[in-house]
Structure formats: C-alpha cells, structure tokens
Amino acid sequence: MRREPPRTLADYTPLAFPALMLIVFFVIPFSTMIAVSFFQRNPAGFYTPDFVFDNYARFLSLFFAKVLGFSLMLAVLVAVCCIAIAFPFTYLLTRQSRKMQTVWLVCLLSVLSLSEVIIGFAWQTLFSRTAGITNLLVAMGLMTEAKALTPGFGAVLTGMVYQALPYTILVLYPALVRLDPTLLEAARTLGASPVRAFLNVVLPALRNTIVATLIMVFVFALGSYLLPQMLGRPQHWTLSVLITDQAIYQSNMPFAAAMAVFLVLISLALVGLTLMLGRRENAG
C-alpha cells in the first residue's frame, strides 16, 4: 500500500482522538501555565488573574541568580561526568556479543526507570552512617570511624550521575552501534593501537554526537527535582526543586510558573541546538 495524502474527511478520523487528547491535555495545560506566570498570587486560593511581570521581575535577585548559577553548574558537571564514563563504556559495549549487549541494556533500562525517590533513598542508605559505604572502609582499615556522607554536594553529584548515566549510555548507543567498522579497521591496519584508534578515529568522528549528548544529559540533569533535596542541603537546591517548592509548599503558583517558563526556554534553546548539530552531522 502506497502512502497517500488524505482525500476525504473520513481519512482523518484516526487522527481525531490523538489530536484531541494532545491538544486538550498538553497544549492547553502548557498555555495555562504560561498564562498563570503573569497572574498574581492569591494566598487563599491558587491565583488571581491579572497581567503583571512581577513574577519575572523576581528573577532579578541575588538569591535567584545563585540558584540558577548553581543549577547550571551542577547540570554541566553531571553531563561531563556522565559522558566521560559513558562514552568509553558504550563504545566497548557495542563491540560485545549481542547477548551481552542485551543483558546490559535490560539492566540499564531497569536502573533508568527507577523512581527518583528510590534512587534518592538508595543513595541515602549507601551514604548513611549505619548501613553506608564507610562501614566497609572501616572494616578494611581505611577509616577509623563510620560517618554519614549525606547531605552534601558530593552526595548530590553522585546521585545525579547515577540517575543520568543509564540515560547517557542509551542516548550514545545508537550512534556508536552504527559506527562504520571499516573506519576502525583502517586505523588498525595502518598500525594504530586500539586506544589510539579510539582516541584519534572514533572520538573525532563522533564529535557532534558527543556535543549533542552532552546537551541532552544537561537538560535531563536540569530536570532532577528530588535528588538535590534528598541528598543535599538547602544551598544545593536547583531550579527544579525551587519550582516544586514554590508550587506546593509556598503555594505560589504564579512564581513557580514563571520559573518553569524560564526553564522551558533554556531547555528548548538547548534542544534546538542539539537538533541543529544532529542535522549537520547527517549532512556532512
């Protein structure tokens, strides 16, 4: 059956339900949120309709600048750590047997689907005084006394890398598994060692993929809403945590919405950049 353009109205019927659902329950909520970001806070209810820029004006404070700066710095750090670990790993994984790859992919998907609550709880436990990793170090004689490693910046970073690592590997996987094997063969026949071939051939060939993945992981890390709260101190809170906090605990929906719109703009700009990079890679 060839693909044909729809001719009659009846041809459009399959589209009706999906279009309706996506418009009513995604486009409208999204627009509502944008509208609310210009509304005024109403301590008694959710908000009062209005058209003010107050919620955006609040961004111009030192506190907000600090949170934003910290969020961006943390997300960059997570993205860099994840790529540094995941790129060589994914490369090696794609050269394993199919069976081995499948087993790893199942494990990675299982970790990826874990709730942030569970990841936070698991690392809290691993970093705790009574059940934590320091007990192991004490038993090995490397430390004198078990201690808690959370809350702290290291704990936040570790938890977020843990959350984003399977995602990074799965984003890199298609590009690496489809990498032309003759490229590498050529390098090897010309006398390059495996490590050299990896550094001088594979890495440069996938430069754009790496940058695109870096951005995707960055956006992913920017969205982490519980780990900074569960594993860190208030100064480690990110924009996502702040949005949740304002929306739920401070019941200041307009301000939360304004921050969310801001976060959308950052994310969209970065996703757009990724798409452009992807296009260039396909063209070149």
Partner 1 sequence: MSERLLRRFYFFLVGLFLAAPLVVVAGVSVNEKQDLAFPPKGFSLAWYGQIFTNPEWRLALIHSVTLAVCSAAIAVAIALPLSWFLWRRIAPWANIFQVLGLAPFILPPVITALGFLTFWATVGLFGQFFTAIISHAIFFVTLPLVTLSLGFASIDRSLVEAASTMGADDRTVLKTVVLPLILPYLVSGYAFAFVLSLNEYIVAYMTIGFTTETLPIKIFNALRYGYTPTMASVSVFFVAIAALVFGLIAKFGDIRRLLGAMSSDAN
219-258 residues near partner 1, rule: CB under 8 A: 219, 222-223, 225-226, 230, 240, 243-244, 247-248, 253, 256-257
* Distant-in-sequence contacts of 18-21, Cβ < 8 A, 24+ apart: none
Q: Does 44 bind partner 1 (CB under 8 A)?
A: no
Binding test (CB under 8 A) with partner 1, winner from 46, 50, 234, 269: 46
Which has the closest alpha carbon to 29: 272, 257, 222?
257
Distances (CA, A) of 61 to 65, 71, 78, 144: 6, 15, 26, 44
Select 174 or 234, whichever has its Cβ closest to partner 1.
174
Instruction: Return d(Cα 226, Cα 46) in angstroms, integer.
Output: 23
| Least distance to partner 1, CB of residue 63, Å | 19
Instruction: Return d(Cα 171, Cα 79) in angstroms, integer.
Output: 12
- Residue 114 has a CB neighbour count (10 Å cut-off) of 14
Length of the chain: 284
Q: Does 183 bind partner 1 (CB under 8 A)?
A: no
Q: Does 51 bind partner 1 (CB under 8 A)?
A: no
85-144 residues near partner 1, rule: CB under 8 A: 85, 88-89, 92, 98, 101-102, 105-111, 113-119, 121-126, 128, 130-133, 135
The two tokens of residue 117 are 């609550």
| Least distance to partner 1, CB of residue 47, Å | 8
Binding test (CB under 8 A) with partner 1, winner from 11, 61, 73, 199: 11
| Least distance to partner 1, CB of residue 58, Å | 16
**Segment interacting with partner 1 (CB under 8 A) among 15-23, 53-61, 147-155, 205-213:** 15-23
**Is omega for the bond preceding 151 within 30 degrees of 0, making it cis?**
yes
Q: Does 164 bind partner 1 (CB under 8 A)?
A: no
